[in-house]
Amino acid sequence: MDIVNVYFTDGYIEWGKLFIKSYTYHHGEDDLMIVFTRNLNNNQIREVANLRGNIEIRNKNLNFDKLSKNAGINKNILIRYKSETESEKVSTSNKVWKLMIAGDDRIKQIYELINERDEGDNILHFDADTYIQKNVSELWKELKQNDFSTIFRINKQIKRRGKIFRENRATLICAMGFTVNDRCKEFVKRWIYYIDKIKPSQRKKGYGQTSCYYAYKDMNKKYKDFKWGQFRDKRGKLWMNANKGHKDKLLVKAQHNFKSVK
Tell me the per-residue pLDDT of 171-228, one tens digit each, with 9 for 90 and over: 999 999 999 999 999 999 999 999 999 999 999 999 999 999 999 999 999 999 999 9
Region 90-115: mean pLDDT is 95
**Cβ distance 2 to 31 under 8 Å?**
yes
Closest CA to 3 of 52, 54, 45: 54
The predicted pLDDT at position 131 comes to 95
CA separation for the pair 121, 144 (Å, rounded): 9
pLDDT (tens digit, 9 = 90+) per residue, 3-42?
Answer: 999 999 999 999 999 999 999 999 999 999 999 999 999 9
CA separation for the pair 4, 70 (Å, rounded): 30
CATH code for the domain in which residue 228 is found: 3.90.550
Q: How many CB atoms lie within 10 A of CB 122?
A: 19
Domain that holds residue 183: 2-261
The three-state secondary structure class of 186 is helix
The predicted pLDDT at position 136 comes to 95
Per the structure, how many domains does the chain have?
1
- Report CA-CA distances (Å) from 4 to 15, 36, 179: 16, 11, 12
pLDDT (tens digit, 9 = 90+) per residue, 106-143?
Answer: 999 999 999 999 999 999 999 999 999 999 999 999 99
The predicted pLDDT at position 108 comes to 98
